[in-house]
Amino acid sequence: MSGRAAEEKSGTMTGANEFKLTQGPEDSISAVKFSPTSAQFLLVSSWDCTVRLYDVSANSMRMKYQHLAPVLDCAFYDPTHAWSGGLDNQLKTHDLNTDQDTIVGTHDAPIRCVEYCPEVNVMVTGSWDMSGYVLSSIEGRVAVEYLDPSLEVQKKKYAFKCHRLKENGIEQVYPVNAISFHSVHNTFATGGSDGFVNIWDPFNKKRLCQFHRYPTSIASLAFSTDGSLLAIASSYMQEQGDISHPADAVYIRQVTDAETKPK
- Cα torsion 236, 239, 241, 247 to 10°: value is -10
CA distances from 136 to 97, 143, 150, 158 (A): 36, 6, 23, 12
CB 33 within 8 A of CB 17: no
How many residues does this entry show for the chain?
Answer: 263
Given a cut of 60, whether residue 258 has pLDDT beyond it is yes
The pLDDT assigned to 15 comes to 73
Cα distances (Å, whole numbers) of residue 68 to 46, 71, 103, 152: 12, 9, 12, 50
- Give the SS3 label for residue 95: strand
Q: 141, 244, 133: which is closest to 181 by C-alpha?
A: 133
Helix (H, G, I), strand (E, B) or coil at 61: strand
Answer whether residue 8 shows pLDDT above 50.
no
pLDDT digits (tens, 9 = 90+) for 86-104: 999 999 999 999 999 999 8
Q: Distance (Å, rounded) from C-alpha 83 to C-alpha 72?
A: 11
Nearest 5 degrees, angle CA 83-CA 49-CA 13? 90
Average pLDDT, the chain: 89
Residue type at position 132 = G
Question: What's the pLDDT score for residue 133?
Answer: 87
Summarize pLDDT for 134-152 with one digit per residue, the tens: 999 999 999 999 888 999 9
The helix (run of H) or strand (run of E) holding residue 154 is helix 151-154
Cβ atoms of 215 and 247 within 8 Å: the answer is yes
> Which phi and psi (to 5°) does residue 5 adopt?
-65, -40
Residue range 36-83, pLDDT digits in tens: 999 999 999 999 999 999 999 999 999 999 999 999 999 999 999 999
13 pLDDT above the threshold of 90? no
pTM recorded for the entire structure: 0.89
Q: What is the pLDDT of residues 238-248, one digit of tens each?
A: 998 898 999 99
More confident residue, 237 or 263: 237
pLDDT at 4 (0 to 100): 43
Mapping DSSP to helix (H, G, I), strand (E, B) and coil, where does residue 228 land?
coil
Given the DSSP bridges, would you call strands 18-20 and 13-15 parallel, antiparallel or unpaired? antiparallel
Q: Is residue 126 predicted with pLDDT exceeding 80?
A: no
> With 90 as the cut, is the pLDDT of residue 121 above it?
no
Domain 17-121: give its CATH architecture: 7 Propeller (2.130)
Please count the other Cβ atoms lying within 10 Å of the Cβ belonging to residue 150: 8
Task: Give the pLDDT of residue 1.
Answer: 40
Q: Which residues pair with 29 in a beta bridge?
A: 46
